[in-house]
Amino acid sequence: MEDKNIIYGRNSIIEALKSGRRNFNKIIISRSVRPDAKIDKIKEYAANAGIPFVFAEKEKFSKYNEYNHQGVIAFVSPIEYVELEDFIAQHKENTSLVLLDGVEDPHNIGAVIRTCVCAGIDGIILPSRRGALVSEIVEKTSAGAINHISIIKVNSPVSALQKLKDNNWWVIASDHHADNNYYDIDFLNMNFVLVMGAEHAGISRSILKLADFKIKIPMLTDFNSLNVSAAAGIIIYEYVRQKLTAGRKYEQK
Amino acid sequence: MEDKNIIYGRNSIIEALKSGRRNFNKIIISRSVRPDAKIDKIKEYAANAGIPFVFAEKEKFSKYNEYNHQGVIAFVSPIEYVELEDFIAQHKENTSLVLLDGVEDPHNIGAVIRTCVCAGIDGIILPSRRGALVSEIVEKTSAGAINHISIIKVNSPVSALQKLKDNNWWVIASDHHADNNYYDIDFLNMNFVLVMGAEHAGISRSILKLADFKIKIPMLTDFNSLNVSAAAGIIIYEYVRQKLTAGRKYEQK
């Protein structure tokens, strides 16, 4: 079981330590690793938190060679997923969620989570059937961001969205057939959940039916093929732009 | 040498064929591949263009197993890079360029190129010393986008930027120490080159000195770590937003 919950790479381990949201069993470091500021930081955190910090021969790491571990691995408790009901109960106003529908590439999931944390998105919903849940690769590619945001696991994205709608949330779906461009809608003064689909399949029909707004990213050539993490960044940061410039609109009046 | 210039994957091959910008030596397809609409399309393009289309045993593909080739590989002429001087001579007004400084991950380069093509950016500058040039992985992760945009290879990004400045171009640098947010500058009515740096190192100092504008993407938490392809997407699409909504500003006057 232990192997199922590892974090590898200095930055990811530091972020998980800083967050205080994971239980560390132990951290192992290869004897062949040259100490640096980040290793020192990991040692310091570990010492303060009473986490065993073990040196090991290089050979011990061979079974983890599929990971780009840089000679440091932590064995930790899994991410604690947040229940949707609890999240709804705790967030009443101007809350932002992102739901990934059928996105399977863990690198993309990790990159979207990073963007969500940078942009102050309140939570991310990952369906447990379609798409990938948080794996070691997601943890690594998120650069530890998964420790700084609520991750909500749901069995059915359709039921989850219906539940959110019943609780005064608006569903915004990214759909390249949409009439509206993403910057034509007002993201402010509401609870919203932005649904992003997989690159080729897009968002499933049953989800599109639930959408209160459908938005597209305009294409200036006939090459319609944004990477999902770029697409998510573009839309999510339009929300940030609106939020940070909202005062200016009032000034102009 | 032939092996140096392969394109793998159906979409990448179709895009390269459509573009008419590559010389195809031949296309080989595994006998074990089930024909589908995309394979038919490749066959049709190949027949029309007089490109040999060869069936091969699965074993022939074993040496390409590092690539996710889906049983189809094309042997082609390399990308033809555009000379900066030629590009400048041919583009006088409202032209947009993106320069990647020290970005090494071919997946990121490919994703940025896709975004550039979707957004109608006119060209992309890749330094040949720092960072990666167009490789098979860049070609594949760009989903064929590299065939739809001018790719300019330069030895020195500093000299390239100086040359652009001397020719009435403005240099916009993405720098997380900047005072201005990316949406605070006006991208319109000028020739600009947007410089994006590698995630950890950022843009080199010698380039920052040449910047006419420095812009940052605001962070709403203390987690400052956007993936470069997400960051590029956010800034490039602000330019698109300004371009497509420019008329509205005039209406309001």
Q: Is A225's Cβ below 8 Å from some Cβ in B?
A: yes
DSSP for residue A117: H
B162 and B243, same structural domain? yes
Tens place of pLDDT per residue across chain B (253 aa): 344 578 888 888 888 888 888 888 889 988 888 888 998 999 898 888 889 888 888 888 887 777 777 888 888 887 888 999 999 999 989 999 999 998 888 888 889 999 999 999 999 999 886 555 667 777 777 777 888 899 999 999 999 999 999 999 999 999 999 999 999 999 999 999 999 998 777 899 999 999 999 999 999 998 877 989 999 999 999 999 999 999 775 554 4
Q: Determine the number of helices (DSSP H) and then strands (DSSP E) in chain B.
A: 8, 11
Q: What is the CATH number of the domain that holds A49?
A: 3.30.1330.30
Report how many Cβ contacts below 8 Å link chain A to chain B.
101
CA distances B184 to A66, A188, B230, B238, Å, are 43, 19, 19, 10
Q: Is the pLDDT of residue A7 over 90?
A: no
pLDDT at position B248? 74
Q: What is the CATH number of the domain that holds B91?
A: 3.40.1280.10
B158 and B109, same structural domain? yes
Is B115 within 8 Å of A238 when comparing Cβ atoms? no
Measured between CA atoms, the residue of chain A closest to residue B233 is A230
A211 and A113, same structural domain? yes
B62 and B91, same structural domain? no
Examine the predicted complex and report whether its ipTM is higher than 0.90. no
A56 and A29, same structural domain? yes
Q: Is A122's Cβ below 8 Å from some Cβ in B?
A: no
B49 and B116, same structural domain? no
Domain limits at A208? 84-252
The pTM (predicted TM-score) of the whole model is: 0.84
Which of B43, B76, B109 finishes a domain? B76
Which range in A57-61, A62-66, A103-107, B164-168 is most confidently predicted, on average pLDDT?
B164-168
DSSP code string of B20-79: T-S-EEEEEEETTSPP-HHHHHHHHHHHHHT--EEEE-GGGGGGGTTS--TTEEEEEPPP
Angle at alpha carbon of residue B239, lines to B238 and B245, rounded to 5°: 85
B122 and B244, same structural domain? yes
Is B225 within 8 Å of A119 when comparing Cβ atoms? no
Q: Is A230's Cβ below 8 Å from some Cβ in B?
A: yes
Instruction: Give the model's confidence band at A249: pLDDT under 50 very low, under 70 low, under 90 confident, else very high.
Output: low
A126-146 pLDDT, tens digit each: 988 655 566 777 777 777 788
CA distance A224 to A20: 41
Cα–Cα nearest to A32, from A87, A72, A75, A79: A72
Of A114, A217, A218, the CB nearest to B226: A114
Cβ atoms of residues B19 and B147 within 8 Å: yes
B89 and B132, same structural domain? yes
B210 and B233, same structural domain? yes
Q: What is the mean pLDDT of chain A?
A: 87
Whose tokens are 């101007």? That residue is A94
Cβ atoms of residues A203 and A195 within 8 Å: yes
Q: Is B231's Cβ below 8 Å from some Cβ in A?
A: yes
A96 and A66, same structural domain? no
Which of B76, B92, B127 finishes a domain? B76
Which of A18, A48, A76 finishes a domain? A76
Per-state percent for chain A, helix, strand, coil, to nearest 5: 40, 25, 35
Of B115, B181, B223, the CB nearest to A118: B223
Q: Is A226's Cβ below 8 Å from some Cβ in B?
A: yes
B107 CB neighbours in chain A (<8 A) are 107
B201 and B108, same structural domain? yes
Instruction: Give the model's confidence band at A192: pLDDT under 50 very low, under 70 low, under 90 confident, else very high.
Output: very high
Number of domains within chain B: 2
A210 and A148, same structural domain? yes
